[in-house]
A and B are shown apart, each in its own frame.
Chain A
Amino acid sequence: MARFLLRRLGLVLPALWLVSVLIFALAEIVPGDVARTILGPYATPEQAAALRHQLGADRPVPVRYAAWLGSFVIGRWGDSMVLHRPVRPFVLARLQNSLALALIALICVVPISLGLGIVAGLNEDRPVDTAISLIGLSLTAIPEFVSGVIVLVVFGVRLGWFPIIAQPPPGAGPLERIHDLLLPSIPLMLVLFGYIARMARAGMVEVMASGYIRTAVLKGLPLRYVILRHALRNALLPTITVIGSQVGWLVGGLVVVETLFTYPGLGKLIYDSAVGHDVTVLEATALLVAAIFMLSNLAADLLVALLNPRVRYSD
């Protein structure tokens, strides 16, 4: 088991390094530059060049990358060239927001989609199964910006049940925070529901056709007991992996929803820093999201391993 953990962690580091190189290279050749972002269009080219020199942005790429990596590795995330602020507190505050939204979306959607997925799996090819599968299929199909706009107008503006600016005032209690973040989390839930329900259904169908369920039934055990004790645990394993793989998107991929609901999350920050050429912020946020994606996958795999003795006790 420990070997499994070490090996997987060993794989995360090179992948993260690869991400940092990828981001640095891509950000480097995106048109526009940090000097323009700071000085705006009306500064003369000479002024822009002077600022670039002052920021050291005109040093060769490898030199800058090495300088950034050197400081980043020892924990100094550096300052944002554009916002003249230390990157770490700023990015971590954004991370907190993104995690809050992700958590709320997950807490609401995971139980429902698991429940319905299992019900569908138990009633394979019956009307309830087709209905749930179709709903899941359709909801996942709707891009977040489409459902986001509709939800925003209907619940935010017309009915006014929820604030349209998803920024709970600092002192807000947990309940109020959830209330304020519910609106932006709805589009996320719609997309997630499809993924999780379908995987839960597939897991259940496969398990119900397995040999050990046949044994359990033919041992004369009551059906409900067979489902709860034997089927459920093995059916949910693949679903945990799916949930793990969605966390990365939930934390760093929501630029669209964050723009619509003016929610200061990581997604929008990555987008802004990519377009605005703020490399230190871009690297920090992209690596953070990549790390979260990989670690959540690893956590999911660990959980699956723990629940599945075949892996836990492998010699």
Chain B
Amino acid sequence: MPGRLIRNAAFLAGGAVVVFWIFAALEWKVITPYDPFAVGPAHPLAPPSGAHWLGTDDLGRDVLSRVLAGAAPVLTIAPTATLLSLLGGTTIGLVAGFHRGLLDDVLMRLVDAVMSLPVIIPATVVLALVGRSTTNVILAIAVLFSPLVARTVRSAVLIEREREYVDAARLRGDRGLFIMFFEILPNVTSPLIVEGTVRLGYAVFTAGTLSFLQLGIQPPSPDWGLTVAVERAFVQIAPWTVLAPALALASLIIGVNLAADGVRRALAE
């Protein structure tokens, strides 16, 4: 599998972008030219210059430093939320797909209900409910994505459960739980990985949107979605304050999607 990945140009490009942002998220304290939180009332909204390559924001803080530091919140929220949604989703999908019957219908109706509302609405209400903090954002995204993961896992399980090795396991007298988690689960990891990588892209997208609606991370965090939300008021006179975080967010999502696409192709071959 890794052999094919390396040869896939899209994967390399996407991977490079993602690695860059991960590096930024871990090392921003070292690599940022200025302290991203240091306020500079003397020079708010200064255009890009020698001193400040990407200019300064409304509080005079260096935009480049904040964009680099901004990778950290997104890259803690999105992967964690995706992982949680994978765990939750897989369990629901396994149980629903394997047991069928009433349990399956109820779970799937729940999935329909949650999915029928555009992601923003439950997120709004959930975050307003439990208050705004990074952990709550992670929980909100995980809760919202689990049904989608469940749906994918369920369809994969529906195919596997008809396979003869499952009958053989039943024939031995193995219990449902063992069959689900030890026999079937290892064989649905491939669609799970694909779903996981796709979810990661959406998690970054949703985390950014939640911050934009000021429901997610709190100032003075350099989070990109939040920065775009706050700085978009100055978009005419200081477009760099909005474009920098916006393009950073877009680049990360594209990077993740390209990498995901590469993984999917490699798995499919």
Contacts and interface: CB of A to CB of B under 8 A. Distances in A.
Interface of A: 11, 14-16, 18-19, 22-23, 26-27, 29-32, 130, 133-134, 137-138, 140-146, 149-150, 152-153, 157, 248-249, 252-253, 255-256, 267, 270-271, 274-275, 286, 289-290, 293-294
Given A137-B257, A290-B116, 14 more contacts: A30-B125, A137-B261, A145-B212, A146-B246, A146-B249, A149-B242, A149-B246, A248-B116, A249-B118, A253-B120, A267-B118, A271-B213, A274-B121, A293-B116
B125 A150 contact: no
Nearest to B118: A253
A138 B128 CA distance: 31
Contacts of A141: 201, 205, 250, 253-254, 257
B258 interface: yes
Contacts, number: 127
A101 B129 CA distance: 31
B126 interface: yes
A165 B110 CA distance: 38
Contacts of A249: 118
Interface string B152-195: 00000000000000000000000000000000000000000000
A31 B128 contact: yes
22 contacts: A11-B112, A23-B125, A26-B122, A137-B254, A138-B254, A138-B257, A140-B257, A143-B249, A146-B228, A146-B249, A149-B242, A157-B236, A252-B117, A253-B120, A267-B118, A271-B121, A286-B121, A289-B116, A289-B117, A289-B118, A290-B113, A294-B116
A14 B121 contact: no
B250 A286 contact: no
B10 interface: yes
Nearest to B108: A11
Given A153-B235, A256-B209, A134 B10 contact: yes
Interface of B: 10, 109-110, 112-122, 124-126, 128-129, 201, 205, 208-209, 212-213, 225, 228-229, 232, 235-236, 239, 242-243, 246, 249-250, 253-254, 257-258, 261
Given A137-B261, A142-B253, A146-B246, A253 B119 contact: yes
Contacts of A22: 113-114, 122
A255 B113 contact: no
Contacts of A140: 257
A285 to B, nearest CB: 9
A142 B243 CA distance: 12
A255 B120 CA distance: 8
Contacts of A26: 122, 125-126, 129
A252 to B, nearest CB: 5
A155 B205 CA distance: 24
B184 to A, nearest CB: 25
A152 B243 CA distance: 13
A286 B243 CA distance: 33
Contacts of A29: 129
